[in-house]
Amino acid sequence: MKTMKVSLVRARYPSVWEPTNLMYVSSFIKDRYQGNLEVQILDGFFDSDEQILNQISCSDYVGFSGTTPQVPHIKKLSKLVKKEYPSMKTIAGGYGPSLQPFKFLNDPTIDYLVVGEGEQSMLDILNGNVNQKLVSSTPIADVDSIPNPDRDSIDLNRYISIAEKDEGRRVTSIMTERGCAFGCTFCAEGQFGTIWRKAGLKNDDLEYERAVRLRGRSPKLVVEEMIEVRDRFNITFFKMNDAETNPSRAHFLKLCEEMIKQEVNVPWGCNMRCDKVDDEMCEMAVKAHCEEFWMGLESGSPEIHRDINKGTTVEMIKKAFDVSKKYGIKRRTYALLGTPLESYETIKQTEELIDYVDPEIIGFSILAPYPGTAYWKPEYDKLDWSQIDEFSNTTWSSSNLTNQELRTEQARLIEKYSDKLAPIIRKKQKLGMGGSQTLDSIMGAM
């Protein structure tokens, strides 16, 4: 029987993390495909376009994945592949293509467009069960049925060594759940359910099923995976790869209990919602060797908190930071500048809140109106999203402050809290991302 050969490629981005989504797709198709299958996972961060083309030369299918800033590289790679290997089948998927499907539907260098969760759709393509370009599946309800991410088809040590250099520890990520139960206007995870929904074409328009908002993994299986990865790769710190790890209080506590029971004994950190942090959570987290909470502060303005629909208040934030400090947990936070109601006065309120909670680590970002958020507009398609992200962009302004004024405030706050800066902010400063395009210049050219 002929062996089917599949290459999965993460498009280029200036910073890097494990391509967990592709690792899950790989493990799923290896487990379910009825036949001989070989899978390799490549990464544009490490591999040049020429290297990627050489390494995929024997593939039957090549799948590209990335977020919105990675879309231009996906499109570039698909053109190169079709020129070099005209008969090779190309697939685009991930957050970027799922949120901007019409960028790919009419692209002749893309054979299949996966919108939404990728595991079942990829399997359907390989099994020949697809007769149209757009492929979309209802998200898998039982996420415990998906095998652990495929760490054999990548060189995981390439990623670990970067963390070891940057942070002095061997770090990798673990996912405890999929999706997000909340509706923050600034995040594609919240407002529209991101890629956790099935899509279909009707009269040239996309129609979506209701998003499958949140699915938790079995704490027992999560911890068994942690132990396996810990021992195999000598991991000294785990990052939970969730939108937030505590949307369900019961699930979080069971996760901690299982870590204690199975004696993981490796420190870890996770995103936490401030409205759900309490003494019992902190006490259990510390017993389970959790050392860091990453909590979005966003703003010190009560009015902005109501406007962004996050469901948190300034008082909730103060309480969460106070109680986690009491238990010696390192607190990392994020401040989001530039939501529509932002003004000098609201930034002053944010500054006052930061001074009160006194986090150990902080990052300052400016709203990026990504596809899938409440702030996206069709005219933003004209922007070069490879030069835009939430840490550095020259595109966005609030109702009261210009983009230049927002960036000046961001720079001022970065300087003021320079001893607390998150590593990603320092990296972005070195990379100099942000470009020189503005919405005014883009709109003037239309």
Q: What pLDDT was estimated at residue 442?
A: 32
Radius of gyration (C-alpha) of the chain in whole angstroms: 22
Q: What pLDDT was estimated at residue 191?
A: 58
Structure tokens, 400: 């009261």
Q: What pLDDT was estimated at residue 439?
A: 37
Cβ 63 vs Cβ 28: under 8 Å:
no
Q: What pLDDT was estimated at residue 126?
A: 97
Q: What pLDDT was estimated at residue 390?
A: 79
Q: Which residues does 83 contact at the CB level (< 8 Å), separation at least 6?
A: none
**Claim to verify: residue 429 and residue 288 sit in the same structural domain:** yes
Compute mean pLDDT per 10 residues along the chain, 446 residues long, and list them.
94 91 98 95 97 97 96 97 98 94 95 96 97 95 97 95 92 95 86 79 84 92 98 98 93 98 98 96 98 97 96 97 98 96 98 98 93 89 83 88 96 94 70 43 33
Query: How many Å apart are CA 143 and CA 166, to the nearest integer?
Result: 32
Beta bridge partners of 336: 365
What CATH number has the domain bearing residue 350? 3.30.750.200
Cβ 179 vs Cβ 243: under 8 Å:
yes
Q: Does residue 411 belong to any structural domain of this protein?
A: yes
Q: Does residue 115 belong to any structural domain of this protein?
A: yes
How many domains is the chain partitioned into structurally?
A: 2
Residue-by-residue DSSP string for 182-219? ---TT-TTTSS-TTSS-EEEETTEEEEPPP--EEEPPH
Residue written as token pair 């759940």: 177
Q: Does residue 234 belong to any structural domain of this protein?
A: no
Q: Does residue 283 belong to any structural domain of this protein?
A: yes
**Claim to verify: residue 134 and residue 276 sit in the same structural domain:** no
What CATH number has the domain bearing residue 78? 3.40.50.2300
Q: Which domain holds residue 353?
A: 272-446
Q: Does residue 252 belong to any structural domain of this protein?
A: no
Q: Does residue 163 belong to any structural domain of this protein?
A: no
What's the Cα-to-Cα distance from 105 to each of 109, 112, 296, 373, rounded to whole Å? 10, 8, 36, 21
Q: How many CB atoms lie within 10 A of CB 363?
A: 23
- Domain boundary residue among 139, 173, 191? 139
- Domain boundary residue among 139, 170, 189? 139
Q: Does residue 395 belong to any structural domain of this protein?
A: yes
- Domain boundary residue among 107, 139, 171? 139
Residue range 211-224, pLDDT digits in tens:
888 999 999 999 99
Q: Does residue 293 belong to any structural domain of this protein?
A: yes
